[in-house]
Amino acid sequence: MGKALVNFRVRMCIVSKSAANCDMSDCIVETTENVTLIGAGPVNKGILADAVGLAPYLVAADGGAEMARKYGKTPKKVIGDLDSLNSAVRAEYPPETVYRIAEQSSTDFDKCLRNISAPLIVGVGFIGGRVDHQLAAFHSIMRHAERPCLLVGQTDLVFHLNRTVRLDLRVGTRVSLFSLAPVNGASRGLQWPIDGLEFAPGSMIGTSNRSTQAQVELDVDGSGMLVIVPRAALARVATALCAT
């Protein structure tokens, strides 16, 4: 599975550990490798192995460091407000790998997302558990649309679409669209095309659509569209998101 993507040399940048924001040239993590970001939510060995196979640079969001440790993995960086990280586990990490961002106006996932610059961030441990945590994660991937991010759960993959994407999928694959903001779109390869539809929360959604050909093309005219497909499509979706 991991062979579908190309691995590159890692390059890190040096920033203040108290930095609350970063742009593409000033991040805690700056790498040309894909990054697996692990949180403290539901993660099993298979999910983590699949993610790391595609995105070998491992970063933990706060208590996600304990989840990584559970499966024998050592993150290269730990980022968050650190209020949920066991002090004994934290002591196992060299101080220069642990980044505390003290502000409480954003989640640990958001803190990580805005401080990682990578071709693709594969997030595990952020969906499949508490609904409020999932909604917060969806908010963050929309808010930081410049950071390509794919959330992986036991059943589903979720990513934010704000441009054209071409997904190589098996015919009959479930493709669900859910908008967090008003957005129009167009499609090719869906059983129910979305051309001309005006998506908006509380008005129009597009769940439980299906692919009718080997490649599905989706295009939107703005920010706010979530795409949800089965986890079995992980390698194919990751490749598509890295291609543009």
Are residues 25 and 75 both part of a single domain? Answer: yes
Are residues 150 and 38 both part of a single domain? Answer: yes
Are residues 124 and 28 both part of a single domain? Answer: yes
Q: What pLDDT is stored for residue 88 in this prediction?
A: 85
Q: What pLDDT is stored for residue 244 in this prediction?
A: 62
Q: What pLDDT is stored for residue 14 in this prediction?
A: 27
| The pairing of beta strand 225-230 with beta strand 198-199 | unpaired
* CA pair distance 19, 16, nearest whole angstrom: 5
Are residues 111 and 16 both part of a single domain? Answer: yes
Query: How many folded domains does the chain comprise?
Result: 2
**In the structure, how many helices (H) and strands (E) does the chain have?**
6, 16
Q: What pLDDT is stored for residue 224 in this prediction?
A: 95
In a domain, 55, yes or no: yes
| The pairing of beta strand 183-188 with beta strand 215-220 | antiparallel
Among 154, 175, 191, the domain-final residue is 154
Among 122, 154, 186, the domain-final residue is 154
Are residues 118 and 57 both part of a single domain? Answer: yes
Lookup result for tokens 């579908």:
4
Are residues 15 and 100 both part of a single domain? Answer: yes
CATH of residue 211: 3.40.50.10240
Are residues 25 and 136 both part of a single domain? Answer: yes
Are residues 49 and 150 both part of a single domain? Answer: yes
Are residues 111 and 219 both part of a single domain? Answer: no
The per-residue pLDDT string of the chain (244 residues; one tens digit each, 9 = 90 and over) reads 333 333 322 222 223 333 334 544 478 999 999 999 999 889 999 999 999 999 999 999 999 999 999 999 999 999 998 888 888 888 888 899 999 998 888 999 999 999 999 999 999 999 998 999 999 999 999 999 999 999 999 999 999 998 899 999 999 999 999 999 999 999 999 999 999 999 999 999 999 999 999 999 999 999 999 999 999 999 999 999 987 6
Q: What pLDDT is stored for residue 11 in this prediction?
A: 26
* CA pair distance 31, 29, nearest whole angstrom: 6
**Model confidence, pTM:** 0.87
Assign residue 23 a region: left if phi > 0, alpha if psi is -120 to 50, beta otherwise? beta
Are residues 61 and 182 both part of a single domain? Answer: no
Are residues 73 and 50 both part of a single domain? Answer: yes
Are residues 58 and 80 both part of a single domain? Answer: yes
* Domain carrying residue 215: 155-230
In a domain, 236, yes or no: no
Among 154, 172, 194, the domain-final residue is 154
